[in-house]
Chain A
Amino acid sequence: MSNNGNPTPNTLEGGSHQAAPAPSRPYWIGIGLMVIGAVWLVNAYGLPQGARYAAVGPGLFVTISGAALLVLGAVLVLQIWRGESFQPQDAEDAVADAKMDKRAFLTALVAVAVPVATMGPLGMPFTATLSFVLVANAFGSRRWWLDLICGAILACASWFLFSQLGLQLGRFFPPLGF
């Protein structure tokens, strides 16, 4: 078991205040939403807003969603500036107000990113096994060889089963051509 579930607040960041569950002023979320809204609006500009018979063309909903995200992003920035609080959600197996375990988070993130690069060239069973080992490690398992065996069995069995069901999961291990 890992020691990352320690409930004692670690106040390395946060100064003299009580350990905050999340940065108190996440302006970047509002700005990010405004950027998404702007991208959608720019794209909508190139689309017809009206159509010959219908009054509404394919651009209208793109415009509406872009404008809404732009405005809502700005409203969120304003709310954050006025001191809006953000409380992490409750989840089973998680302590909402615990400090973020960056190593565990990044390991799990790598496990999610790995398939983008390896799924095509190395196949689904290999990729799934690798991700399995990484996630188990992120959750504190240190018996990597056991995770490797468990992951490989699960990945191979599900590749076989789902392929039988008619799902196109690609070849078993493409580098060897089968």
Chain B
Amino acid sequence: MDTLGLLLQGFGVALQPVNLMWALVGSVLGTAIGILPGIGPALTIALLLPVTTALAPTSAFIMFAGILYGAMYGGSTTSILLNTPGEAGSMMTALEGNKMARAGRGAAALATAAIGSFVAGTFATLALTFAAPFVAELAFYFKPTDYFAITALAFCSVAVVMGASRTRGFISLFLGIAIGVIGIDAMTGQPRLTFGNMQLLRGIALTVVLVSLFAVGEILYVASRYRSVPGVMAPVKGKLWMTREDFARSWKPWLRGTAIGFPMGALPGSGSEIPTMLSYTLERKLSKHPEQFGKGAIEGVAGPEATNNAAAAGILVPLLTLGLPTSATAAVLLAAFQNYGLQPGPFLFTSNPALIWGLIASLYVGNVMLLVLNLPLVGIWVQLLRIPRPQLYAGILVFAMIGVWGLAGSWVDLAIMFVVGLAGYVMRVYDFPIAPVLIGLILGPMAENQLRTALAAGQGNPMVLVSTPLSAILLTIAVLLLALPIFLKRLRAHA
């Protein structure tokens, strides 16, 4: 069946009343967490992982997708009105958006952000619709050596690109890999690093590490440096709709943002920070009003916001087609698939088309819901910011401990939450990137498995790792990623 036929079938699944309801729940939750501080899409999905025991997989993933997209919409609201970007991808939006809000054009800034998110979300989902089956088709031919090369490249790019320095990026990555080897070795049944503790035999769950690093680490960090005086919120002023000129200045940045965000979101490690910065710089260069940048240029909101949403769709391509997570949120989504005993990858497209295509179709539906939720109702959403911070952070800890305790009812998990949470605090104080820990934790065992399978097939000959053209190219790129900055630095020093 062709892609359009499969997509139509997907709409048949996504438009079922029960799935529509879950899409709405996800969109509402996503928008709310995008606005609230301290929680992001990765943490929310991790805390909701227990619902996988009660929900059908299609419904659960439709809700998770709503959360992923919704968080991108909600993040722009606080950036524009409060100048507090909740996540890295909203930093550029805050730069121009808050200036617009202070100049009495908050409504136009919110509108270009919401419509830009809708345009980018829809076009990026369209790209996902056609790119994903193509990549999945290719992935059928991938061998374990290719998969090992892909994970090796993902490791290098994540560690090099994320964070303040390569050393700190690699430290985070190897901490994740080191946590990932704890527990019974899947291939030989040998216990590793369990220190005689029976409960460590099953390894350390991704949820425990994620909840501890993101929620507990954040609570400890914010408590230690709490800004008890709340930020000044700019009122939503101006016409609720954009003017003709606003539209004329926004539509090109929306499309350019989509073109930048989607492919970069699919690459490991680029996250949403780099593409949004790229979009901002590009818009400033191309704008007919460069003098307005830094004072409230609408292009500076439209471009990065579109980029941000397109990148969120981009991460789904490697996740669904190769089972490769490129961001923290994607890593949690992979864990959700594993909870159902499903492995994303080319075989999922043939074995469970209703799930994959229902999920993709729900992204279109979710985008429409989010536009409706965000454009006219923004005044209601900002009321969420009135929740007092002490009770909000206390509530986040309650949900974090429920998520950890509910996994296995084990005090060992709670002790790990304490230790890893403390580590999360230290990482924030000394600026170590957090996402590489999760990528290392989830991709480490995958890389190990593929490496051992590839070497077993090649009877132990390490040359098997570069025996296919793809693996050779990918490993070369990985080495270049590591070596190039050092080489360039030396070249500059000699110049």
Contact = CB atoms under 8 A, between A and B. Distances in A.
Interface of A: 1-5, 22, 26, 29, 33, 36, 40, 43, 47-48, 51, 53-58, 60-62, 64-66, 68-69, 72-73, 75-76, 79, 84, 86-89, 91-96, 98, 100-102, 104-105, 107-109, 111-113, 115-116, 119-120, 124, 127-128, 131-141, 147, 150-151, 154-155, 158, 162, 165-170
B4 interface: no
A1 B84 contact: no
A115 B391 contact: no
B435 interface: no
A139 B390 contact: yes
Interface stretch (B201-209, B395-403, B486-494): B395-403
A61 B448 contact: yes
B185 interface: yes
B398 A72 contact: no
B456 A93 contact: no
B419 to A, nearest CB: 10
Interface of B: 37-38, 50-51, 53-54, 78, 84-86, 164-165, 167-168, 170-171, 174-175, 177-178, 181, 185, 187-188, 190, 192-193, 216, 218-229, 388-391, 393-395, 397-399, 401-402, 405-406, 409, 411, 414-415, 417-418, 421-422, 425-426, 428-431, 444, 448, 451-453, 455-456, 459-462
Nearest to A150: B391
Contacts of B167: 72, 75-76, 79
B391 A107 contact: no
A36 B171 CA distance: 11
Given A22-B430, A54-B460, A132 B397 contact: yes
A91 to B, nearest CB: 6
B411 A91 contact: no
**Main SS class of interface, A:** helix
B391 A158 contact: no
B222 A91 contact: yes
A104 B223 contact: yes
Contacts of A136: 390-391, 393-394
A60 to B, nearest CB: 8
B398 A168 contact: no
B178 to A, nearest CB: 4
A91 B221 contact: yes
B426 to A, nearest CB: 7
Contacts of A127: 401
A134 B224 CA distance: 14
Given A101-B224, A141-B390, A162 B50 contact: yes
A92 B78 contact: yes
A147 B431 CA distance: 33
Dominant SS among interface residues on chain B: helix
29 contacts: A4-B226, A5-B227, A22-B430, A36-B178, A55-B460, A58-B185, A58-B187, A60-B448, A69-B178, A86-B430, A87-B164, A89-B431, A92-B222, A94-B225, A105-B220, A105-B224, A108-B223, A115-B405, A119-B401, A132-B391, A132-B395, A135-B223, A135-B394, A135-B397, A139-B228, A147-B390, A154-B398, A162-B406, A165-B53
Contacts of B461: 55
B225 to A, nearest CB: 4
Give the interface centre of B227, B394, B429, B448 by most chain A CB atoms within 10 Å: B394
Given A56-B451, A69-B171, A112-B418, A119 B164 contact: no
Nearest to A104: B223
Contacts of A109: 220, 422
A151 B394 contact: yes
Nearest to B188: A58
Contact of B431 (A87, A108, A139, A158): A87
Given A68-B174, A79-B165, 10 more contacts: A72-B171, A86-B430, A91-B218, A128-B401, A135-B390, A138-B390, A165-B51, A165-B54, A166-B50, A170-B409
A148 to B, nearest CB: 11
